[in-house]
Structure 1
Amino acid sequence: MNVLDAPEGRSPSTAAAPQLSSSTATSRQRGAGIVMMLISSASNQTGAALGATAFPAIGAVGVVAVRQIVTALVLTPIVRPRLRGLSRDQWWPILGLVVVFSTMNLSLYAAIDRIGLGLAVTLEFLGPLAVAVASSRRLLDIGCAVLAGVGVVVLTNPGPTTDVIGVSLALLAAVAWGSYVLLNRTLGQRLPGLEGTAVASLITATAWTPILVVWFAVHTPTVMAITLAVACGLMSSIAPYVADLLALRRVPAQMFGTFTSINPVWAALAGWLLLHQSLDLHEWTGIGLIVLSNVIVSARGLAPTAKQVAPAGRPRR
């Protein structure tokens, strides 16, 4: 799920506290918001690393299935979405999100299993960057797209030893993330708050439940693997949701978008510390170029305006 694509970055719970917003927050409150953003991104990537440690026992499919179910079990009672009375115009983006959630998570985790956390997450960031650049005619943004393309070449270092399948899976996750941004924006105009995202999460978990049963019948899970997958769901979905929701009350949406660009760096660090996945100099250089392009594009509207519009942020799936 993604609090950034709810109308004006708010859910029903934020509407209950209009006295605190990014425009009225004090310097100390903004500082607290920055800390929350850092905690959110660190939690997100640490959770992904923990999920990856369960791959030997239950594979990427098992981790994704558990994560989807955990997210729905926590999110549904919080949002309490309605399932009856939804129109066709509301249902089609919801069902689109169900497909996107599944594709995005499975392709990303399969990519992590092949090319590592840092590389996979960095390539996935090309999705929202492409959406942002496609909606702009500014030469600077087009230049950022070129810079990101150079970053991809430097990062992947094409050659006979390149894991083409792993890179392709990460790029598929990027396409899914870009589609998520567009679908969630549409859904945010047709349903209040996070209701549409919660419905999509519930349906996704329902669809993954029989897959999980069959998968675990073939791949016998261990208690540790299930624990790690549950931790992945909590740390990569629920904890960032809470932190992002609180942060968006304290910092401008554009600043939030800029700070999400640190995720590939956190992913590389989490992969190094928890998964022992080291990166070469050219990989760090490629990550730096892609992160820089994201920072420039997301920070373009950082100057105060009459109405702040939330940019595309990272999904919580």
Structure 2
Amino acid sequence: MNALDIAERAHSAPAGRRQFSAATATPRQRGAGIALMLASSASNQTGAALGALAFPAIGPVGVVAVRQFVTALVLTPIVRPRLRGLRQDQWWPVLGLVVVFSVMNLSLYAAIDRIGLGLAVTLEFLGPLTVAIAGSRRVLTIACAALAGIGVVVLTDPGPSTDLIGIALALLAALAWGSYILLNRTLGQRLPGLHGTAVASLVTAAAWTPIAVTWFAFHAPTAAAVALAVACGLMSSIAPYVADLLALRRVPAQVFGTFTSTNPVWAVLAGWLLLHQALDLNEWIGIGLIVTSNVVVSAGALTSSRGEVRAAALRDIAD
């Protein structure tokens, strides 16, 4: 489960299940929430960079396989998902998530291997941005869609030397992330808490077992590469998951979404520091335009949410 999906799940959870509400959090608690969000983003992208360091030995497929196993090994004993008794209408979104998990992670890591961490993560963010824009008819949101489109053109700078395969892989990851959000929303309505996510993680790990056995039979893993892949799983899946859940008890979901937009920036920094991937001016500008689109859309959702709360309060007073 990634940051925006956790926000969606936490925002829609029944109030009785929360230890305390973001609406009643003190300034100190909200400050702690912001620190947790920033730490989550930094951990996520640092983990991705560590995974990329293992590419020469085990490739993106090997890193993704290890990451799936780590996620399942941590989530399964915590959530203790039950496979027996699941209805057909619960199984199909689970199986959909299994496919999306695999496509999203594999295409993203393959894109990172070709076009770099910063560019791949920025393009992937078009997925949740598209989902947010599709659910709004506001003129500002439509303008943000156009701004993001311009950002993609500036970022990729189409030309004879453009790595079209790498860009296509990153856009495929974006499509998978958008589909993941919609499937996760459906699953959250049919299974309690994180049960659905844990089931999907467990089934994904099982599906990846024969792939991993075959892959590692021809790509002998080194201890260092496996350690980097495990670190990637812990830092890009488990640590952000815990930090995000704690943060969402302290800040509103829309504010959370706004801060999540800093992920491409963290990705650029991690790529520069750990992978020695520098960006040209046009790439910085393109990333800035896409990040700005994400921030504006998230801020617009916050304003809209406040308006709905005020309208509901006025209706209660009138009644």
| Alpha-carbon distance in 1 for matches of 2:212, 2:309 | 44
CA RMSD of aligned residues (A): 1.5
Residues 157 and 108 of structure 1: CA distance in aligned 2, closer, same or farther (over 3 Å): same
User: Per the alignment, in what secondary structure is the counterpart of residue 6 of structure 1?
Assistant: helix
State the shift of 1:118 in Å: 0.1
Provide the identity percentage: 77
Write the letter of the residue equivalent to 1:44.
Answer: N
State the shift of 1:4 in Å: 2.1
Q: In the alignment, which residue of structure 1 is the partner of 2:242?
A: 242
> Is contact 1:7-1:189 (8 Å) kept?
no
| Alpha-carbon distance in 1 for matches of 2:29, 2:287 | 31
Q: In the alignment, which residue of structure 1 is the partner of 2:257?
A: 257
Q: In the alignment, which residue of structure 1 is the partner of 2:212?
A: 212
State the shift of 1:299 in Å: 1.2
Are 1:178 and 2:178 matched, yes or no? yes
Residues 248 and 179 of structure 1: CA distance in aligned 2, closer, same or farther (over 3 Å): same
> Is contact 2:66-2:229 (8 Å) kept?
yes
State the shift of 1:3 in Å: 1.9
TM-score normalised per structure 1? 0.93
Residues 15 and 224 of structure 1: CA distance in aligned 2, closer, same or farther (over 3 Å): farther
> Is contact 2:10-2:245 (8 Å) kept?
no
Q: In the alignment, which residue of structure 2 is the partner of 1:5?
A: 8
Residues 202 and 248 of structure 1: CA distance in aligned 2, closer, same or farther (over 3 Å): same
Q: In the alignment, which residue of structure 1 is the partner of 2:314?
A: none
How many pairs align?
305
Write the letter of the residue equivalent to 1:5.
Answer: E
Residues 178 and 111 of structure 1: CA distance in aligned 2, closer, same or farther (over 3 Å): same
Q: In the alignment, which residue of structure 2 is the partner of 1:84?
A: 84
| Alpha-carbon distance in 2 for matches of 1:156, 1:27 | 41
Q: In the alignment, which residue of structure 2 is the partner of 1:222?
A: 222
Matches within 5 A, 1:25-174: 25-174=25-174
State the shift of 1:8 in Å: 2.8
> Is contact 1:100-1:177 (8 Å) kept?
yes
State the shift of 1:7 in Å: 5.4
> Is contact 1:40-1:243 (8 Å) kept?
yes
Greater Rg, structure 1 or structure 2? Answer: 2
State the shift of 1:305 in Å: 5.5
Q: In the alignment, which residue of structure 2 is the partner of 1:274?
A: 274
C-alpha distance after superposition, 1:11-48 (max 9, x if no partner): 9xx96653x21011000000000000000000000000
Write the letter of the residue equivalent to 2:51.
Answer: G
C-alpha distance after superposition, 1:244-285 (max 9, x if no partner): 000000001100000000000000000000000000110000
Residues 113 and 55 of structure 1: CA distance in aligned 2, closer, same or farther (over 3 Å): same
User: Per the alignment, in what secondary structure is the counterpart of residue 296 of structure 2?
Assistant: helix
Residues 306 and 149 of structure 1: CA distance in aligned 2, closer, same or farther (over 3 Å): closer
> Is contact 1:3-1:10 (8 Å) kept?
no
> Is contact 2:120-2:167 (8 Å) kept?
yes
User: Per the alignment, in what secondary structure is the counterpart of residue 287 of structure 1?
Assistant: helix
The runs of 5 or more residues in structure 2 that have no matched partner are: 311-319
> Is contact 1:7-1:192 (8 Å) kept?
no
State the shift of 1:213 in Å: 1.1
> Is contact 1:71-1:234 (8 Å) kept?
yes
User: Per the alignment, in what secondary structure is the counterpart of residue 192 of structure 2?
Assistant: coil
Write the letter of the residue equivalent to 1:92.
Answer: W
| Alpha-carbon distance in 2 for matches of 1:8, 1:69 | 28
> Is contact 1:47-1:233 (8 Å) kept?
yes
Larger helix share, 1 or 2: 2
Write the letter of the residue equivalent to 2:42.
Answer: A
| Alpha-carbon distance in 2 for matches of 1:77, 1:244 | 20
| Alpha-carbon distance in 1 for matches of 2:17, 2:88 | 30
State the shift of 1:301 in Å: 2.7
| Alpha-carbon distance in 2 for matches of 1:307, 1:78 | 35
> Is contact 1:94-1:196 (8 Å) kept?
yes
Write the letter of the residue equivalent to 2:233.
Answer: G
Q: In the alignment, which residue of structure 2 is the partner of 1:314?
A: none
| Alpha-carbon distance in 2 for matches of 1:108, 1:81 | 27
C-alpha distance after superposition, 1:133-187 (max 9, x if no partner): 1111111111100000000000000000000000000000000000001100111
Residues 307 and 45 of structure 1: CA distance in aligned 2, closer, same or farther (over 3 Å): farther
The runs of 5 or more residues in structure 1 that have no matched partner are: 309-317
> Is contact 1:3-1:9 (8 Å) kept?
no
TM-score normalised per structure 2? 0.93
C-alpha distance after superposition, 1:86-115 (max 9, x if no partner): 111111100000000000000000000000
Write the letter of the residue equivalent to 2:193.
Answer: G
Are 1:189 and 2:189 matched, yes or no? yes
> Is contact 1:57-1:221 (8 Å) kept?
yes
| Alpha-carbon distance in 1 for matches of 2:110, 2:125 | 16
